[in-house]
Amino acid sequence: DAKTTQPTSMDCAEGRAANLPCNHSTISGNEYVYWYRQIHSQGPQYIIHGLKNNETNEMASLIITEDRKSSTLILPHATLRDTAVYYCIVRGAAGNKLTFGGGTRVLVKP
Protein backbone atom coordinates (compact mmCIF):
# COMPACT_ATOMS: atom_id res chain seq x y z
CA ASP A 1 0.00 0.00 0.00
CA ALA A 2 1.21 3.52 -0.84
CA LYS A 3 2.61 5.71 1.91
CA THR A 4 0.89 8.96 2.86
CA THR A 5 2.26 12.24 4.19
CA GLN A 6 0.15 14.61 6.28
CA PRO A 7 0.92 17.74 8.29
CA THR A 8 1.38 16.97 11.97
CA SER A 9 -1.16 19.47 13.19
CA MET A 10 -3.41 22.34 12.19
CA ASP A 11 -5.86 24.73 13.80
CA CYS A 12 -9.22 25.74 12.44
CA ALA A 13 -11.79 28.33 13.51
CA GLU A 14 -15.20 27.07 14.48
CA GLY A 15 -17.70 27.51 11.66
CA ARG A 16 -15.04 27.79 9.00
CA ALA A 17 -14.06 25.13 6.50
CA ALA A 18 -11.15 22.88 7.46
CA ASN A 19 -8.98 21.71 4.57
CA LEU A 20 -6.78 18.74 5.42
CA PRO A 21 -4.11 17.87 2.82
CA CYS A 22 -2.59 14.47 2.16
CA ASN A 23 0.22 13.52 -0.21
CA HIS A 24 0.31 10.02 -1.68
CA SER A 25 2.67 10.41 -4.63
CA THR A 26 3.31 6.65 -4.99
CA ILE A 27 -0.35 5.68 -5.21
CA SER A 28 -1.11 3.06 -7.84
CA GLY A 29 -4.09 2.89 -10.14
CA ASN A 30 -6.18 0.47 -8.11
CA GLU A 31 -5.61 2.06 -4.71
CA TYR A 32 -8.29 4.02 -2.91
CA VAL A 33 -7.89 6.98 -0.57
CA TYR A 34 -9.62 6.63 2.80
CA TRP A 35 -10.07 9.09 5.62
CA TYR A 36 -10.71 8.13 9.23
CA ARG A 37 -10.67 10.27 12.32
CA GLN A 38 -10.03 9.49 15.97
CA ILE A 39 -11.57 11.64 18.63
CA HIS A 40 -9.60 11.60 21.86
CA SER A 41 -9.45 8.15 23.49
CA GLN A 42 -12.04 6.67 21.14
CA GLY A 43 -11.71 4.17 18.31
CA PRO A 44 -11.25 5.56 14.79
CA GLN A 45 -14.31 6.47 12.77
CA TYR A 46 -14.72 6.16 8.99
CA ILE A 47 -15.29 9.45 7.19
CA ILE A 48 -15.10 8.97 3.43
CA HIS A 49 -13.23 7.23 0.63
CA GLY A 50 -12.57 7.77 -3.08
CA LEU A 51 -10.69 6.47 -6.12
CA LYS A 52 -10.59 9.20 -8.78
CA ASN A 53 -13.65 11.36 -8.53
CA ASN A 54 -14.43 13.86 -5.84
CA GLU A 55 -16.75 12.48 -3.20
CA THR A 56 -19.14 14.08 -0.72
CA ASN A 57 -21.20 12.68 2.12
CA GLU A 58 -22.89 14.06 5.20
CA MET A 59 -19.60 14.40 7.05
CA ALA A 60 -17.11 15.75 4.53
CA SER A 61 -15.91 16.17 0.97
CA LEU A 62 -12.90 14.49 -0.59
CA ILE A 63 -11.05 16.21 -3.42
CA ILE A 64 -8.54 14.04 -5.31
CA THR A 65 -6.17 15.68 -7.80
CA GLU A 66 -6.26 14.54 -11.39
CA ASP A 67 -2.90 12.79 -11.11
CA ARG A 68 -4.11 11.23 -7.81
CA LYS A 69 -0.86 12.11 -6.06
CA SER A 70 -2.61 14.15 -3.40
CA SER A 71 -6.02 14.74 -1.89
CA THR A 72 -7.80 17.12 0.47
CA LEU A 73 -10.43 16.34 3.04
CA ILE A 74 -12.81 19.23 3.57
CA LEU A 75 -14.92 19.65 6.68
CA PRO A 76 -17.30 22.36 5.45
CA HIS A 77 -18.28 23.94 8.76
CA ALA A 78 -15.97 22.78 11.49
CA THR A 79 -17.39 22.43 14.99
CA LEU A 80 -15.64 21.88 18.30
CA ARG A 81 -16.64 18.22 18.07
CA ASP A 82 -14.48 17.89 14.94
CA THR A 83 -11.35 18.23 17.07
CA ALA A 84 -9.59 14.92 16.41
CA VAL A 85 -6.69 13.21 14.69
CA TYR A 86 -7.43 12.68 11.00
CA TYR A 87 -5.83 9.80 9.16
CA CYS A 88 -5.35 9.62 5.40
CA ILE A 89 -4.91 6.00 4.27
CA VAL A 90 -4.21 4.53 0.86
CA ARG A 91 -5.20 0.94 0.27
CA GLY A 92 -5.92 -1.43 -2.55
CA ALA A 93 -9.50 -2.68 -2.78
CA ALA A 94 -8.31 -6.26 -2.39
CA GLY A 95 -6.39 -5.59 0.81
CA ASN A 96 -7.60 -6.48 4.25
CA LYS A 97 -5.78 -4.03 6.43
CA LEU A 98 -5.70 -0.31 7.07
CA THR A 99 -2.27 1.22 7.64
CA PHE A 100 -2.56 4.21 9.93
CA GLY A 101 0.25 6.74 9.85
CA GLY A 102 0.70 9.62 12.26
CA GLY A 103 -2.29 11.59 11.01
CA THR A 104 -3.06 15.30 11.38
CA ARG A 105 -4.10 16.61 14.77
CA VAL A 106 -6.86 19.15 14.11
CA LEU A 107 -7.85 21.59 16.82
CA VAL A 108 -11.05 23.52 16.20
CA LYS A 109 -11.03 26.75 18.18
CA PRO A 110 -14.04 28.87 19.20
Partner 1 sequence: NAGVTQTPKFQVLKTGQSMTLQCAQDMNHEYMSWYRQDPGMGLRLIHYSVGAGITDQGEVPNGYNVSRSTTEDFPLRLLSAAPSQTSVYFCASRPAGDRVKNEQFFGPGTRLTVL
Q: Which of 17, 102, 107, 109 binds partner 1 (CB under 8 A)?
A: 102
* Strand-pair category, 31-38 with 45-50: antiparallel
Least distance (Å) from partner 1 to the CB of residue 92?
10
Site for partner 1 in 47-66 (CB under 8 A): 49
Q: Does 7 bind partner 1 (CB under 8 A)?
A: no
Helices (H), the chain: none
Q: Which of 59, 63, 74, 98 binds partner 1 (CB under 8 A)?
A: 98
Q: Does 29 bind partner 1 (CB under 8 A)?
A: no
- What backbone phi and psi angles, to 5 degrees, belong to 82? -85, -5
Short-list 51, 34, 48, CA closest to 89: 34
Least distance (Å) from partner 1 to the CB of residue 51?
8
The one-character DSSP state at 103 is -
Q: Which of 87, 90, 104, 108 binds partner 1 (CB under 8 A)?
A: 87
Using CB atoms within 10 A of its CB, is residue 74 exposed (0-12), middle (13-18) or buried (19+)? middle
Where do contacts with partner 1 occur on this chain (CB under 8 A)? 32, 34, 41-46, 49, 87, 91, 93-94, 96-103
